[in-house]
Amino acid sequence: MKTRKLVMIPGPTPVVRSIQDQMGRETVAFGDPNFIRDYKELINDMKTLWKTEGEVFVIAGTGTLSMEMGIANTLKAGDNLLIVSHGFFGDRFIELANRKGINVDVIQSEWGEIVPLDEIESKLKEKNYQAVTVTHVDTSTGVAAPVKEIGELVRKFEDTLYIVDGVCATAGEPEYIDEMNIDILITGSQKAFGVTPGLCILWAGPRALKRREKLGTIPEYYVDFNKWLPIMEDPSKYFATPAVNLIWALKESVNIIKEEGIENRYARHIKNARAMQAALESLGFTLLADKDHRAVTLSNVLYMDGVDDVEFRKVLGEEGVVVAGGLAAYAGKMFRLGHMGNIDIHDMVSTIAAIERALYRVGIEAELGKGVGTLMRELLK
């Protein structure tokens, strides 16, 4: 009998049955009155939950498209952009900006660490930056940036917009648009929301919307705020075809968040993450991210001596859990384990137990049950 596989990568994440059911509904016309109502309710809920007087855009696409959408509507050729990068995905903003003719300065941390706040402030004082970007959780490193503190810092520079990449954070790590001085928050559907890939999600605060108006006509078409604003205000209007079933799926995800309570959801992510991380360390692994800045949505797990990455992940897959490999200099040296969204205690226990079995099979002496015991004790505190 085949072992059922849990996909515990940094995204896509496991999709619970009620969300799957929404995706499996009979598709209706995008002008269907019930769908229009659902779409509008989703938009309103997302503005309320993430606390903004601005707008949210929910359109067919990906997290990368939302990155491009954020840059396209706030910056023009010749503008200055400061990129605060904590890894591979922070660096992705560089090419996006370069292609648009934006002047880019980059502050990069050592992988596993954050860029110090005083270093960011010092850089911002050097010139007039039209925007600064920060990746909240970089999946290449497992580091969570201090988004709230950076927002307070950026508030001192009134001409500088604050763009946050929340792709692997939103709905798992606290993010409040207006309170945290976030002007643009970007994400996708397939990570902490627990929906399949396919939606580009972007919140634009009041200052970002004003910046868009100042830019006038922009060269981009599909991601232009001004093309989508009429639809977000009234989904009965048309610009491009909405992903009907994915909108329903995201609406169900948001209903789950509302039922749980968003603060309770954040607290659950912290508890689950720290339990998983303690369990991994009890088995002899170490984590790449500095302890004070570890993400709650994933862990980047460094191998102990004697483990071959390809063999370990192959065996782990046979034991029923799929994880992702390391990136760049850490390829072959670690695996990346997602623990976000709507996973439950069964998923977590099964994951740690499978890791224990995989270690045993590749010849690493690890006490069977130790990781599971550590996980359970932490979860039951």
Number of domains in the chain: 2
Question: Do 175 and 278 belong together in one domain?
Answer: no
Domain extent, residue 163, equals 17-260
Domain with 143 in it: what CATH number?
Answer: 3.40.640.10
154-177 pLDDT, tens per residue? 999 999 999 999 999 999 999 999
- Residues 288 and 183 placed together within one structural domain of the fold: no
Q: Are 294 and 143 in contact (CB under 8 A)?
A: yes
Report, as an integer, the average pLDDT of 355-363. Answer: 97
Residue 2 pLDDT greater than 80, yes or no:
no
Q: What is the pLDDT of residues 103-141, one digit of tens each?
A: 999 999 999 999 999 999 999 999 999 999 999 999 999
For the chain, how big is the Rg over CA atoms in Å? 21
Whether the pTM exceeds 0.85: the reply is yes
* 12: preceding bond cis by omega (within 30 degrees): yes
State whether 190 and 232 are in the same domain.
Answer: yes
How much of the chain exceeds pLDDT 90, in percent? 96
**Gap between the Cα atoms of 11 and 197, Å rounded:** 9
Instruction: Look up the CATH number of the domain holding residue 363.
Output: 3.90.1150.10
Q: Among residues 260, 291, 316, which one ends one of the domains?
A: 260
**pLDDT, tens digit (0-9, with 9 covering 90-100), for 301-326:** 999 999 999 999 999 999 999 999 99
Domain-ending residue, one of 194, 228, 260: 260
Question: What is the average pLDDT score of the chain?
Answer: 97
Same domain assignment for residues 162 and 28: yes
Could you tell me which residues are beta bridge partners of residue 336? Answer: 300, 324
Residue 89's pLDDT is 84
Taking only the tens place, the pLDDT of each residue in 20-78 is: 999 999 999 999 999 999 999 999 999 999 999 999 999 999 999 999 999 999 999 99
pLDDT band at residue 220 under the 50/70/90 scheme? very high
Q: How far apart are the first and last CA of the chain?
A: 36
DSSP state of 329: G
Q: What is the mean pLDDT of residues 290-308?
A: 97
> Does 101 reside within a domain?
yes
Do residues 212 and 226 make contact, with C-beta atoms less than 8 angstroms apart? yes
**Helix residue ranges, H only, 261-344:** 262-282, 309-318
CB-based burial, 33-46: b 16+ in 10 Å, e otherwise: eebbebbeebbebb
pLDDT-derived band at 216 (thresholds 50, 70, 90) equals very high
Alpha carbon separation from 142 to 73, 89, 159 (Å, rounded): 29, 11, 31
- DSSP H or E stretch at residue 145: none
Q: Which long-range contacts does 41-47 make (Cβ < 8 Å, 24+ apart)? A: 41/251, 42/247, 42/250, 42/251, 42/254, 43/232, 43/235, 45/251, 45/254, 45/258, 46/201, 46/203, 46/254, 47/203
